[in-house]
Amino acid sequence: MEINEIVEMDQKHFMNVYSGRYPLYVEKAEGISKDGKVYRDFLAGIGVNALGYSNQRFKDALKDQIDKIIHCSNLYYIEPQAELEKKLCQNSCFDRIFFANSGSEANEGALKLARKYFKKKGSNKFETITADNSFHGRTMTTVTATGQDKYKEPFTPLPEGFYTVPFNDLEALKEAVTDKTAAIMLEPIQGEGGIYPAEQKYLEGVRKLCDQKDILLIFDEVQCGMGRTGELFAYQNYGVEADIISLAKALGGGVPIGAFMAKEEVASAFEPGDHGTTFGGNPLATRAASEVIDIMLEAGFLEAVREKGSYLKSGLDKLVAENDNLIETRGKGLMLAIELSDDLSAKEITDELFERGFLVNAVKEHTLRFLPPLVVEKEDMDLLVKNIREIITEN
């Protein structure tokens, strides 16, 4: 099937929610389009394809699991699920886990758990504070938690109990806390908002505030977790622990899976019937995630992510130093961004990069986001920087 046929079929039948789709049909897992053009991927399916597209060990694990069983309900025990539970808990500060199918579901479950925790304590706390510029999902609850009006306005009236304050502003957060505040939900690095890392003192202060006021701290690591920063979890860069954490995207290496984890005291608030899922934690998804974890925990893998992140950031920093129309670089590991001046359009630059065979994302009008597979090669990073330099110079 040719690309024009796919576009015509999609425009006729699919709901009109994705604007500006690029005319690209990826035919091969290595990232080669049907017309034979090579595309160098610096988006990884929006942070999903952490292992790239040709990890044979990962593909073999999926094939093996497909031959055994793909789906089994949670009425029964699932071996890959149990193995994944153990790996995630042993390599984090959390004790219990629930598997969902996406980041939105994971965040929804985390928020439900926070409310149930205080309800079980006999408290009337139910409100959640999030940060301006945050993104937590597309369900009614998680879009309400999101700190960007453009995602919320089409769906008002929204569920009650959610408030936003400026990110990295501890004093504003303290002022927003009331006797009904149950949780503070933050991304250690804001992703869709433009790659803004939390400041060390800010997260430390938030943790202290939560301890003082009996508030649960939730880390949304849907995008910044799972090796993206060079640590398995982004919070490990800060040495600050949350009470609940949400995961998705890279967790399954391309197979849909989400999860939220909690410490024992908090997790024990859930009782049979409080939460559930049909597909979450199925054998195929958990086998995929288990293999991803094993690969990421191999000696040298996360260290290589840190090294590659430093290498790419160094190249981007040089671009900024060379050009007055580039403001700054931001991020950690292989979760990076360049902020452009008002004279440059991020969309126009991503369009030009696409024509040159690079998949990059514009998350704001003047922000380029880079989320390459964690196995990206230095040669590809060099070519990316070279092409951005050429495009900026031409503009």
Residue with tokens 């559930």: 276
**Residue-number span of the structural domain to which 326 is assigned:** 3-51+312-394
Claim to verify: residue 40 and residue 161 sit in the same structural domain: no
Q: What is the pLDDT of residue 38?
A: 86
Residue 350 lies inside a defined structural domain of this protein: yes
* CATH number of the domain where residue 68 is located: 3.40.640.10
Residue 306 lies inside a defined structural domain of this protein: no
Q: What is the pLDDT of residue 32?
A: 52
Please report, rounded to a whole number, the percentage of residues in the chain having pLDDT higher than 70.
97
Claim to verify: residue 131 and residue 187 sit in the same structural domain: yes
The pLDDT of residue 236 is above 80: yes
* Tens of pLDDT, residues 178-195: 999 999 999 999 999 999
Claim to verify: residue 254 and residue 353 sit in the same structural domain: no
Residue 46: what are its φ and ψ, rounded to 5°? Answer: 60, 60
Domain boundary among 248, 264, 296: 296
Query: Which 3 state secondary structure label does DSSP give 144?
Result: helix
Alpha-carbon distance 308 to 146, whole Å? 31
Between 161 and 39, name the one with better pLDDT. Answer: 161
Residue 307 lies inside a defined structural domain of this protein: no
Name the least confident of 26-30, 96-100, 190-194, 232-236. 26-30
* Tens of pLDDT, residues 41-77: 999 999 999 999 989 999 999 999 999 999 999 999 9
Claim to verify: residue 205 and residue 257 sit in the same structural domain: yes
Domain boundary among 296, 330, 360: 296
The pLDDT of residue 20 is above 90: no
Number of domains making up the chain:
2
Alpha-carbon distance 22 to 373, whole Å? 20
Residue 337 lies inside a defined structural domain of this protein: yes
Q: What is the pLDDT of residue 30?
A: 63
* Tens of pLDDT, residues 321-354: 999 999 999 999 999 999 999 999 999 999 999 9
Claim to verify: residue 336 and residue 352 sit in the same structural domain: yes
Residues 6+ apart with CB under 8 A from 188: 197, 198, 203, 219, 221, 224, 234, 235, 237, 238
Claim to verify: residue 256 and residue 371 sit in the same structural domain: no
Claim to verify: residue 347 and residue 258 sit in the same structural domain: no
Alpha-carbon distance 101 to 279, whole Å? 7
Residue 235 lies inside a defined structural domain of this protein: yes
Alpha-carbon distance 43 to 40, whole Å? 9
Q: What is the pLDDT of residue 28?
A: 67
Claim to verify: residue 222 and residue 128 sit in the same structural domain: yes
Claim to verify: residue 155 and residue 272 sit in the same structural domain: yes
Cα 58 to Cα 64, 94, 248, distances in angstroms: 10, 26, 17
* CATH number of the domain where residue 318 is located: 3.90.1150.10
Between 4 and 212, name the one with better pLDDT. Answer: 212
Domain boundary among 261, 296, 331: 296
Claim to verify: residue 220 and residue 142 sit in the same structural domain: yes
Residues 6+ apart with CB under 8 A from 152: 143, 144, 146, 158
* Tens of pLDDT, residues 284-302: 999 999 999 999 999 999 9
